[in-house]
Amino acid sequence: MEKKKFTDDFLRFLSNSPTAFQATYQIKETLVNNGFILLKETDKWNLIKGNKYFIIRNDSSIIAFVMGEKIPTETGYKMIGAHTDSPSLKLKPDTEKKDKSYIKIGVEVYGGPIIHTWLDKELSIAGRVAVKTKQGIESKLFDYKKHIAIIPNAAIHMNRELNKGFEYNKQTHLPAILSISDKEIKNGLVKEIIAEKLDISIEDIYDYDLFLYDPTPARLVGHNDELIVSGRLDDLAMSHATLNALIEADAPESTIMGIFYDNEEIGSQTRQGANSSFLKDLLLRINCLFNGNMEDYAISIGKSFLISADMAHAYHPSYVEKHDPAYAPEINKGPVIKMSANYKYATTAETSAYFENLCHKAEVPFQKMINKSDLPSGSTIGPMSSARLSIKTVDIGNAMWAMHSIRETGGIEDQVYIYKVFREFFQ
């Protein structure tokens, strides 16, 4: 894909994915427009070599795959796993309260956001709503788009500790102000907003999974537009690159998969997370449909490879003490291979070499990252996927600043680089 078109599509994807539900919907629409067929887990399947398919769980996780020209026992699977969720603040349903004339609503912290970045920002609300229809319960996407909420700081005069490492109380300091009104809100302001936006009655609203988000569009920044600033770069950047490499793969020999999990930010232990049976269920089912037994399944897995794609920490010139100087990747210098002696990342010498070779073939530079020995690292879907499936795995990602901030910063050249490597992998 031409670079400007690719960049514009990336910016659009980021800006239109305020939650995992919208990200999954965008992935679904792209797949359908490129000939992929939706499969339901409750239906009987008939898979055909060369055809393209996808399945969805919880409206927030999706696995798409192209059946290879050869059966999995011959070539195994080539898989890339990313995640659709990002740290955020989730609304507590039916918790609107009036305090004097202020209407506020409680929130829960989802994942590990940099909390102070969410304060004094013009916020909107998005997610999904469970509604009553003639056919039963239906999930509807919801994105208010308009700025409606704010979580205000106390003035520095009232909180002299604010610039000295102040810790926000999640229960008392983070409720969002939705309005100032003397009118009584009979059914809850959020439900009134939902009903108006979706053109339904309040009585038809069962429940909702709604999150606050910053609706500021993704933007290019820097003298040469070399940086990209956006919410949710972690991990929509890897999701976008995976999706585009997958839809451009042409008649692959191996069965290839793009896996877009929800709930990575909270440990993945959900029905739609990486620590569920979602992927294994699919692989076993494919094995059965091609008349394979458990030995065939084991052979297929032994020949397979998984790229766990999640963002990486870039060298930060204002926090040089946070990096091992020998392993401090830079923005726009190529994808980062992430390594950990305690296997917080799944990379081994063998899988690192495999990915390095892919980069050489794609003519893309690469970097390596190991955390400082006195600074514990986070983790990814890589170790749990590798252990759960017994599959060779490498953990990689693009270098970025301010991971888990409401606005994160990465490099646009890196997005092009990783897309090229993923395309090489799938081809």
- The DSSP code sequence of 111-157 is S---GGGGTT--BEEEEEEEEEETTEEEEEEEE--S--BB-PPPPTT
Strand, helix or coil for residue 4: helix
Tell me how crowded residue 116 is: count the other CB atoms within 10 A of its CB.
15
- Over residues 283-293, the mean pLDDT reads 94
- Residue 181 predicted with pLDDT over 90: no
- What's the distance, Cα to Cα, between the start and end of the chain in Å? 15
Phi, psi angle pair for 382, to nearest 5°: -60, -60
Percentage with pLDDT > 90 across the chain: 90
Supply the pLDDT for residue 370. Answer: 95
pLDDT grade for 375, boundaries at 50, 70 and 90 = confident
Supply the pLDDT for residue 184. Answer: 74
Domain boundaries, the chain: 3-86+231-426, 89-213
Supply the pLDDT for residue 379. Answer: 85
* Cα–Cα nearest to 352, from 327, 376, 374: 327
- Residue 427 predicted with pLDDT over 90: no
Dihedral class, residue 298 (left if φ above 0, else alpha if ψ from -120 to 50, else beta): alpha
DSSP H helical ranges for 308-408: 349-362, 381-389
Q: 301-356 pLDDT, tens per residue?
A: 999 999 999 999 999 999 999 999 999 999 999 999 999 999 999 999 999 999 99
Supply the pLDDT for residue 250. Answer: 87
On the question of a common fold for 3-86+231-426 and 89-213, the answer reads no
Q: Name the pTM for this structure.
A: 0.95
Beginning with the edge strand found earlier in the chain, give each strand of the sheet holding 176-180 in spatial order. 97-99, 102-105, 176-180
Six-digit token string for 153 = 């700081």
Residues 6+ apart with CB under 8 A from 234: 86, 310, 311, 400, 403, 404, 408
Strand, helix or coil for residue 110: strand
pLDDT grade for 1, boundaries at 50, 70 and 90 = confident
Mean residue pLDDT across the chain: 95
Residues 6+ apart with CB under 8 A from 8: none
Q: Which residue has the higher pLDDT, 377 or 127?
A: 127
**What pairs with residue 131 in β-bridges?**
138, 205
What is the homologous superfamily of the domain 89-213 according to CATH? Aminopeptidase i, Domain 2 (2.30.250.10)
Q: Which residue has the higher pLDDT, 250 or 175?
A: 175
Supply the pLDDT for residue 373. Answer: 87
Percentage with pLDDT > 70 across the chain: 100
pLDDT grade for 376, boundaries at 50, 70 and 90 = confident
What is the homologous superfamily of the domain 3-86+231-426 according to CATH? Zn peptidases (3.40.630.10)
- Over residues 142-159, the mean pLDDT reads 95
